[in-house]
Amino acid sequence: MALDPSSGYVAASNLQDATDAALPIFDVQRVRLQFDISSDFVAAQVANNVLVLALSTGRILRFDLDNAEDVDDIDLPKRPAEVGVIRRMFLDPSASHLIVSTTQGENYYLHTQSRQPKPLSRLKGVHVESVAWNPSLPSSSTREILIGAADGNVYETYIETSTEFYRREEKYRQTVYSTQDGAVTGLWVDTLPGRPDFRRVLVATQGKLLHFVGRLGRQGQEGSGSLFQKLFEAETPTIYESPKISIPAPSCLAISPEVSDPAASNLSDSARTFAWLSSQGIYHGTLLTNLEPSVLGKKVFADSRLLPRSATPPSQTTGGRSRSVQVPAQSAILSHFHIIQLVEGRVIAFNRLNDAVVHDQLVLEEGQASLGLFCDQRKNTFWLFTKREIFEIVANDESRDSWRIMLQRQQFGAASRFAKTAAQKDAVATASGDYLVNKGQFAEAAAVYGKSTKPFEQVALTFIDKGEQDALRKYLLMKLSMFKKPFIMQRIMLASWITELYMAKLNLLDDTISTKAELSDGTNTTETKNQLSVVRKEYQDFIARFKSDLDRKTTYDIISSHGREEELLHFATVIDDYNYVLAYWIQRERWTEAMVVLRKQTDPEIFYKYSTVLMAHVAMDLVEILMRQPTLEARKLIPALLNYNKTTQASLGQNQAVRYLQFHITHQHSTLAAVHNTLLSIYASHPTPDEAALLSYFETQSAAQEQNYDADFALRLCIQHKRIRSCVHIYCTMNQFASAVDMALKHDEVELAAIVADRPDNDPALRKKLWLRVAKKVIGRERGIKSAIDFLKRCELLRIEDLIPFFPDFVVIDDFKDEICAALEEYSRQIDALKHEMDDSASTAAHIKEDIKALDQRYAIVEPGERCWNCRLPLLSRQFFVFPCQHAFHADCLGKMVMRMIGMNRGKRIRELQAEVGRGIVGGAKRERMVKELDGLVGGACVLCSEMAVKQIDEPFVLPTDNKDEWAL
């Protein structure tokens, strides 16, 4: 058994996504069954895409609409002849729990995981008319639910599935309310947001609709006692009563489907709606949730209204004429926006917002009985069941006309939410703006007009004619934000106009505050100041957001024309035009403000541009800022520093140019000659006679073994400003000691000259030459020869005979007799020392001759088994050499080793000698000389421990020709 997927539920569901306005809002389609039904349907329910059908034979068919092949065929435990025919079924919204009620008052419970209905013994004899499911579903149990019976009572029960034979399905049955007004045709329970212990209960009878709101009662654990008893006992319901009429009519309570996504469905909130079908018609409204419980019921019924039976279009007779008798609706359900009724086989849909008929379709043939209309609360689908057929009522964009209805009611906020297309939204915005203008709400109208396509000129002139500059500004801001980036000219014009309006508004508020006048709207000066702050903040936000749309020159002109200094500088700051800000403050000699701006800058060009004028007025603050800018090039600041040094009268310790240059050299480690030369020029040109700072700089450079300054420039500068000690230092660094001594002596700096004369300690001749110059000056200046001689004793190189030429002709020898005697005694001691050295040399020569004679008698002992250190064969087998180090080699082995180790020239000579001696051609004394020469070349030194072996230290131990296996570890 299955539903036909070609023309059944699947095809109908696809139509729900249709958004074509040409389609009807509702379309009733027959669902064709792919199986034969031997008996009629007697009851039906649908929830969460699960369809449950009850047959007159007592069978229950359970379909999964998502899977048409999934069908459960379930039988009641007893035959209909014993328990009666199924009259009603109640399926919870999650399709987990099913309650079946028969004509004889037998009730059964079926869980979604079970195929065997269980009898509800506690509910035996109760003719169930309605069920209010627990809003906390789904669960393995029903939890606390309310059951409306035909006897007018409302029962509370708790049903839990069980596999135990003797255990009842329902834990308890408690009568919680009695209507005394006939059968309870409808029940509904829901929660209130933020109040988990409160419930709202709707109870519908044939003639009344009751609204309860109250706190729940709880005794013990879940399922241990009544939850709703306290609510019904403590609360007085709000009642809506329908006038009694003689014509009987069906009664039922319908609730709109769940709103799973309010944003997607265009609903303003998640509040659901109700509809009560009575003899008078349909009473419907919204189930408000955001009010206090004490007034909730009254407010719900106060905002509800009746759709009278007379609003239903009359049906046509066979001859085409309408009936005069109004037939009541047989059933009614709710969608999100419509009330759907079944009247004489016709499916009629009313728009719930304006009660207009949007659909009227004849579905059933005359006399064809139906089981009623049904709504799937979770899946938002709608169904019509007869005894043999199933119809689906497909909704096609049912909210399409809601925006127009809201617009007619002047509910512009709701209309905007329901509007979908750009044309619809524009129509809502235009109408809303016109309405607000007529009511004098210009600010609100500006916000709405900004989203509409109403001609810009009309809106702008409207606000101008009304004198509403604030509304005009707000409107222009809206339009500016909506213009796309490519509309450059439009954006620039709007931004400039808005700037003009801001300046006018700020001036107006300033004028009001300055005159302390009361404004026409009753605001006082304090409020005006607050408003001024708000408008200024708005202006700043506007500048920050739309700075790219503001033409720089035009904006400067606009703000300047209004004399708005603060706003002018704020604009320049936002667009990073710090040149303008600094120039502005500098022109007004506002140095403090200028330095505040400069502290925030990182662009080196700004510092270069304004350093000259700022050094002249705020040198200390500027240098503080400059020292925090590591990227600056000091050479570009030199003109400003020199100009400052020219005009300042500060000492070197307070000179800010010196301070910055020292910082750049010390901390930035600058090696630029321009920087060092500038510092030198400031030191040298300063009027103070003290050369300490200049000399300290030179000594620092010398200690660091650097010379980053131009020595020639420094020397000329020091000579020009008569910095003698500095000149002497420079000469010394240039190793021009003679010039240094001459410079010092020229200015009578004898002590300084003596210090310089001692500098070339590694060149005695030069040192003596320099001291002779000093001696000449000292002897010529000193009046007493004795004191001059004492001064010149500081140099041990000077002799009295060197100084005699410098003495005056009239000097008597008695003045330096002692010095001459001392010199003669020194010469005598030197002669004696030389004689002693000559005697020592003669003795040494004699010892050497004796050692040479002893060499001829030197010998070495060779043991019988000793081997050659090269070939490891017995040494005595052929000619050999023995060295004092006890290393011994065969003559030919030693020759080969020497050939590998000595140079090319000696190796060649050895081969020549070996060849001559080996041929035996040469004899006599010549042969002896050649043998002696060959022995000298080969056996001159041991190849293993002499200097020859040390030179071979970079040779590897294992040669490529050696057997490496012998050396393996």
What is the per-residue pLDDT for 414?
A: 73
Instruction: Answer yes or no: is pLDDT of 750 > 80.
Output: no
- Give residue-wise pLDDT tens across range 55-67: 988 889 888 888 7
**With pLDDT > 70 as the criterion, what percentage of the chain qualifies?**
85
What is the per-residue pLDDT for 22?
A: 58
What is the band of 333 on the pLDDT scale with cuts at 50, 70, 90?
Answer: very high
Query: Mean pLDDT, to the nearest integer, of 678-682?
Result: 86
What is the band of 158 on the pLDDT scale with cuts at 50, 70, 90?
Answer: very high
Instruction: Answer yes or no: is pLDDT of 319 > 60.
Output: no
What is the per-residue pLDDT for 205?
A: 93
Position with higher pLDDT, 962 vs 92 = 92
What is the band of 321 on the pLDDT scale with cuts at 50, 70, 90?
Answer: low
Cβ burial of 319 (10 Å; 0-12, 13-18, 19+) is exposed
- Give residue-wise pLDDT tens across range 176-192: 999 988 899 999 999 99
What one-character DSSP code corresponds to residue 33?
Answer: B
Min mean pLDDT across 13-17, 351-355, 446-450, 945-949 is at 13-17
Tell me the Ramachandran region of residue 183: left when phi exceeds 0, alpha when psi lies from -120 to 50, beta otherwise. Answer: beta
Instruction: Answer yes or no: is pLDDT of 579 > 70.
Output: yes
What is the per-residue pLDDT for 317?
A: 55
- Global confidence as pTM: 0.57
Cβ burial of 926 (10 Å; 0-12, 13-18, 19+) is exposed
What is the per-residue pLDDT for 393?
A: 92
The CA-atom distances, in angstroms, between 570 and each of 580, 596, 607, 890 are: 11, 14, 21, 103
Instruction: Answer yes or no: is pLDDT of 281 > 70.
Output: yes
What is the per-residue pLDDT for 34?
A: 64
- Cis geometry, peptide bond prior to residue 138 (ω within 30 degrees of 0): yes
- Give residue-wise pLDDT tens across range 932-961: 887 877 877 888 888 777 777 777 767 677
In whole numbers, what is the pLDDT of the chain averaged over residues?
A: 81
What is the per-residue pLDDT for 824?
A: 65
Position with higher pLDDT, 495 vs 20 = 495
**With pLDDT > 90 as the criterion, what percentage of the chain qualifies?**
19
What is the band of 906 on the pLDDT scale with cuts at 50, 70, 90?
Answer: confident
CA–CA gap between residue 148 and residue 155 (Å, rounded): 7
Position with higher pLDDT, 768 vs 739 = 739
Instruction: Answer yes or no: is pLDDT of 553 > 50.
Output: yes
What is the per-residue pLDDT for 255?
A: 94
Which range of 435-444, 611-620, 741-750 scores highest in mean pLDDT? It is: 611-620
Instruction: Answer yes or no: is pLDDT of 807 > 70.
Output: no
Instruction: Answer yes or no: is pLDDT of 582 > 90.
Output: no
Position with higher pLDDT, 588 vs 11 = 588
Name, in order, each residue with C-beta under 8 angstroms of 33's C-beta and a sequence gap of 6 or more: 1, 3, 4, 8, 390
What is the per-residue pLDDT for 791?
A: 65
- Classify 403 as helix, strand or coil: helix
- Give residue-wise pLDDT tens across range 822-838: 666 766 777 878 888 88
What is the per-residue pLDDT for 347?
A: 93
Position with higher pLDDT, 417 vs 110 = 110
Token pair for 189: 């329970």
What is the per-residue pLDDT for 520?
A: 47
The CA-atom distances, in angstroms, between 46 and each of 393, 395, 403 are: 13, 17, 31
What is the band of 88 on the pLDDT scale with cuts at 50, 70, 90?
Answer: very high
CA–CA gap between residue 35 and residue 31 (Å, rounded): 12
CA–CA gap between residue 446 and residue 429 (Å, rounded): 10
| Nearest by Cα to 76 from 24, 122, 113, 118 | 118
What is the per-residue pLDDT for 19?
A: 41
Q: Hey, what long-range contacts does 413-416 have (CB within 8 A, 24 or more apart)?
A: 413/268, 414/268
Name, in order, each residue with C-beta under 8 angstroms of 284's C-beta and a sequence gap of 6 or more: 273, 274, 275, 276, 304, 305, 307, 334, 339, 352
Min mean pLDDT across 237-241, 459-463, 739-743 is at 739-743
Torsion angle (degrees, nearest 10) of CA 517, 518, 520, 521: 140
Residue carrying the six token digits 């020497």: 898
Query: Mean pLDDT, to the nearest integer, of 629-651?
Result: 87
Instruction: Answer yes or no: is pLDDT of 517 > 60.
Output: no
**Taking each helix axis from N to C terminus, what angle separates 673-685 and 692-703, rounded to the nearest 10 degrees?**
150
* Residue ranges covered by each domain of the chain: 1-36+243-312+328-399, 403-570, 576-668, 875-964
What is the per-residue pLDDT for 268?
A: 46
What is the per-residue pLDDT for 12?
A: 32
Q: How far apart are the first and last CA of the chain?
A: 89
**Taking each helix axis from N to C terminus, what angle separates 737-746 and 764-781, rounded to the nearest 10 degrees?**
10
Query: Mean pLDDT, to the nearest integer, of 752-761?
Result: 76
Min mean pLDDT across 242-251, 450-459, 469-478 is at 242-251
